[in-house]
Amino acid sequence: MLAMIIIIITIAIDSTTCTVHDLICESIKNTSDHDDTFDILNVGVTREKIILVTKKWFVYEMDINSMKDGKLYLNVLPTPASAKFPYLWSYKRFQDIKDKITDVQIFMDDEGDWLCLVPIFDYGIGYHIDTNEIIVITWFMRNNSIENERSIGTMESYRNYIFRYIRFDITAKAIQINKDSINGTIGVRNTKRIHIVNLWTYICLTSDNKIVIQYGFCQNYGLQTVDWDIQGGFVVNEQFYLLGKDNVYSFSEQAYLKPNQSFAYSKQDYRSFIYCYGEIDSLPFNRIVRIIFIIIILLLIILVILLFININQRRHHRQKSREILKVKVAKKPPPPPPPSPSKAVKQTKQQQIKSKISMDKNSSIIQKSAKFSSIGTMRSEIGKIPVPVISRQSSSMEKSAIQKSKFF
């Protein structure tokens, strides 16, 4: 019993302290000593989920609310793509182009959510997340001039943001941003060509360290070009999150929708931007769940202890009752030995004689009582006979007669 209590306490402590370490997440945060390379392939967004895919083909699928207050909470453990998308993983064409895929993005159309995998110099693959259907897409054919294009996932149907680097001299390069779109009437399945929505714009910096999105070179407006070494990104709650190799840059989506206007931006490293599984105490809901879990574990431990005490008390009471019963049995005198057959016969005859004598006595007593009762009755009857009254004269005559009789 004590061992079971210790096991329960150990499980409770492990659960509440979250001793399960997510090494993949630590690698993404650049906290792993053995792997400090950038491991995010890209992040796709649907209306309800955020899907992060790593270059080593691990998948994080989280609720859209996992992005909160400028922090990304990876509150789930990663799943290998082979287990998360087994039909896609076993698809021969995917295995053929797996090592050539440079971008992952999600398009939403009327049929649902499509995970689109984009290789370089080859056709891409569209994977329907809900139905496991796989199609070949031809509108992501990459060439050398747009090799460095990447998508920025959005919650908008048929569209995603895209960005790319443009070199304007040997030492400097600029970031351009735009939107691409598929035909909403025919969807991902039948789209043959992707469309660029607007003119390419540049992300520039002002002298007071704010961003401005311009349609021309930043230098033409007295602004500074930025080189954040962006690898991917996504938009949630009208906020851009651009993923650089070392830092995450975030700013309002209004900066794109309202060009030539300056907006503040923030910069943070991955240690402060991403919270791994086991670091989710920052979420109030998870803290409440954890407190409830701790209370349940403590109540279970108390229940086990009470049951253990109750069982011991019952066992002690039974043992004590048995000892008392043994003492009583030991003090009780042994029963007399049974009489021998001859003595039993003799005692039986004596009992019969005694019973006969007692019966005779009883019958004689009954007869005497009956006789006495009859005499009493006779006396009472005689007492009822009227006695004649004799006068004094008659009595003197009787006396003389008696005397005469005596004389003769």
Distance between CA atoms of residues 228 and 248, nearest Å:
9
Task: Specify whether the CB–CB gap between 257 and 246 falls below 8 A.
Answer: no
In this structure, how many other beta carbons lie within 10 angstroms of the beta carbon of residue 79? 13
Q: For residue 16, what pLDDT is reported?
A: 45
> For the chain (length 408 residues), average pLDDT per consecutive 10?
52 47 80 61 92 94 92 92 95 92 91 90 89 85 59 91 83 86 83 85 94 91 88 94 93 94 94 84 58 88 88 80 71 62 58 67 60 52 50 48 47
User: Please, is 406 exposed, middle or buried when counting C-beta atoms within 10 Å of its C-beta (0-12, 13-18, 19+)?
Assistant: exposed
- As given in the structure block, the two tokens for residue 335 are 């029963």
Nearest alpha carbon to residue 151 among 194, 119, 103, 191 = 103
Cα 43 off chain centre by = 29
**According to DSSP H, which parts of 109-175 are helical?**
none
Distance between CA atoms of residues 116 and 101, nearest Å:
10
- Whether pTM > 0.85 for this model: the answer is no
Cβ-proximal residues to 127 (8 Å cutoff; 6+ apart), any chain? 85, 87, 88, 114, 115, 116, 117, 133, 134
Distance between CA atoms of residues 141 and 127, nearest Å:
17
Cα 195 off chain centre by = 47
43 forms beta bridges with: 52
Task: Specify whether the CB–CB gap between 51 and 115 falls below 8 A.
Answer: yes
Backbone angles phi, psi at 260, to 5 degrees: 70, 5
Distance between CA atoms of residues 1 and 304, nearest Å:
8
Distance between CA atoms of residues 38 and 159, nearest Å:
26
Task: Specify whether the CB–CB gap between 86 and 104 falls below 8 A.
Answer: no
Q: For residue 404, what pLDDT is reported?
A: 46
The three-point CA angle 31-37-40 to 5° equals 90
Task: Specify whether the CB–CB gap between 155 and 47 falls below 8 A.
Answer: yes
Distance between CA atoms of residues 216 and 221, nearest Å:
8
